[in-house]
Amino acid sequence: MPPELRTTLLTLLGKRVQFALPLARHTSFRVGGPADAFVAPESVAELQMVLRTLHEETVPYFLLGGGTNVLVSDKGVRGVVIHLGAEFNYQRWTALGDEACVQVGAARPLGRFVRDATTKGYGGVEFAEGIPGSVGGGLLMNAGAFGGELSRVVTAITGVQADGECTRLTGAEIGFAYRRTTLPPGFIVTEVEFRLQRSAPEAIATKLLHAQRKRQATQPHGYPNAGSIFKNPPGTYAGKLIEEAGLKGLACGQAQVSEQHANFIVNKGGARAAEVKQLMEQVQRTVWEKNLVQLEPEVRLVGEW
């Protein structure tokens, strides 16, 4: 990284800039090499200044939220990794009769928002109980489970374009799809706006308990992981195909296909990103050979490979 850019970033953010920072501590997989620079803006204005600087210098950047659903290369990430600071962790509620409009900062933990909504008596997000990561990260992957997904309750988002301009997009402009969204290149989401409906407390509690029990019974605990590794193909489940291919427990180094849920890869301790990637590719090849189904990764590969 050019010394001039290092100096500029330090001038803008001070101690909230770190260089050659290992990213393993910032990912749920607990793997990943260093970022050239790691910055944590605390306001929209600071984020705008950072993006304008990177845009002018044509420096690549990557937004890292809660660190779930990503696999960072052992070689790390070139350019700048942006991590939204604590000032982006908020929520504002406006009651509208039997509905509520909720503006939620992108850095707020998704699970906390879900629990707050259900406590207040609003339904529509119970399915997301137990999904790790931030609200912004959940938006980017259109997080969903048990028949629900965020696209059904998101009405708008606010964010900053690559050139530093603030923009608001309505739900119709976002481009939701299965486990992804389509946004302008370089766009960083800073706030997500939800519209929730009041619901009977008993109904909310039942749905929340169902999601909690389902996750506890079927998903691995005790080992670092990134959640579901592959998207579900049309008409079936990735975990089912992987299990039927006899791949539960398959290992590459310290990375292993979970023995509890086949669509999870766990870090048994000290796994490298290259081992996880190699294991993913082996699973894809085997499922293709047995079923002629191409599994598409849900986890995002980041950095130099």
| Annotated domain spans of the chain | 3-86, 89-217, 223-302
What pLDDT score was predicted for residue 182? 93
Confidence band, pLDDT 50/70/90 cuts, at residue 211: confident
What pLDDT score was predicted for residue 7? 96
| Catalytic site includes residue 179 | yes
Closest CA to 82 of 193, 226, 157, 187: 187
Work out whether the CA dihedral 83, 41, 167, 120 comes out positive or negative.
Answer: positive
Which residues are paired to 96 by β-bridges?
Answer: 99
Statement: residue 298 has pLDDT above 90: yes
| Catalytic site includes residue 198 | no
Which token pair is 186? 């370089």
Instruction: Choose the catalytic residue: 228, 258, 272, 275.
Output: 228
Phi/psi of residue 272, nearest 5 degrees: -100, 155
122-123 and 188-198 strand pairing:
antiparallel
Statement: residue 180 has pLDDT above 90: no
Confidence band, pLDDT 50/70/90 cuts, at residue 301: very high
Instruction: Choose the catalytic residue: 129, 191, 193, 298.
Output: 298
Q: Give the residue-averaged pLDDT of 257-282.
A: 97
What pLDDT score was predicted for residue 61? 97
Closest CA to 186 of 9, 63, 36: 63
| Catalytic site includes residue 78 | no
What pLDDT score was predicted for residue 213? 79
The C-alpha atoms of residue 268 and residue 270 are separated, in whole angstroms, by 7
At 230 the three-state DSSP class reads strand
Task: Report the 10 Å Cβ neighbour count for 131.
Answer: 24
Q: What angle do CA 144, 146, 152 make, to 5 degrees?
A: 45
Its pTM stands at: 0.90
For the segment 53-97, what is each residue's pLDDT rounded down to a tens digit? 999 999 999 999 999 999 999 999 999 999 999 999 999 999 988
Q: Are 249 and 242 in contact (CB under 8 A)?
A: no
Closest CA to 252 of 229, 236, 221: 229
Write the DSSP symbol of residue 295. Answer: P
Confidence band, pLDDT 50/70/90 cuts, at residue 1: confident
What pLDDT score was predicted for residue 144? 83
Those residues with Cβ within 8 angstroms of residue 208's Cβ, 6 or more apart along the chain or in another chain: 118, 126, 129
What pLDDT score was predicted for residue 129? 85
Q: Which CATH number fits domain 3-86: 3.40.630.10, 3.40.50.2300, 3.40.50.150, 3.30.43.10?
A: 3.30.43.10
Q: Which helix (H) or strand (E) holds 255?
A: strand 255-257
For the segment 22-57, what is each residue's pLDDT rounded down to a tens digit? 999 999 999 999 999 999 999 999 999 999 999 999
Statement: residue 303 has pLDDT above 80: yes
What value does the CA radius of gyration of the chain take, rounded to a whole number of Å?
Answer: 20
What is the dotted CATH code of the domain comprising 223-302?
3.90.78.10
70-72 and 300-302 strand pairing:
parallel
For the segment 215-264, what is each residue's pLDDT rounded down to a tens digit? 777 778 889 999 999 999 999 999 999 999 999 999 999 999 999 999 99
Query: Residue 276 corresponds to which amino acid?
Result: V
Q: Give the residue-averaged pLDDT of 194-203.
A: 90
What pLDDT score was predicted for residue 204? 84
At 201 the three-state DSSP class reads helix
What pLDDT score was predicted for residue 230? 97
The C-alpha atoms of residue 94 and residue 251 are separated, in whole angstroms, by 49
The count of C-alpha atoms lying within 13 angstroms of the C-alpha of 58, restricted to the half-sphere facing its C-beta, is 0
The answer as to CATH 3.30.465.10 being correct for domain 89-217 is: yes
Write the DSSP symbol of residue 222. Answer: S
Instruction: Choose the catalytic residue: 126, 179, 191, 272.
Output: 179
**What average pLDDT does the chain have?**
94
For the segment 129-147, what is each residue's pLDDT rounded down to a tens digit? 888 889 999 999 998 888 8
Write the DSSP symbol of residue 73. Answer: -
What pLDDT score was predicted for residue 218? 73
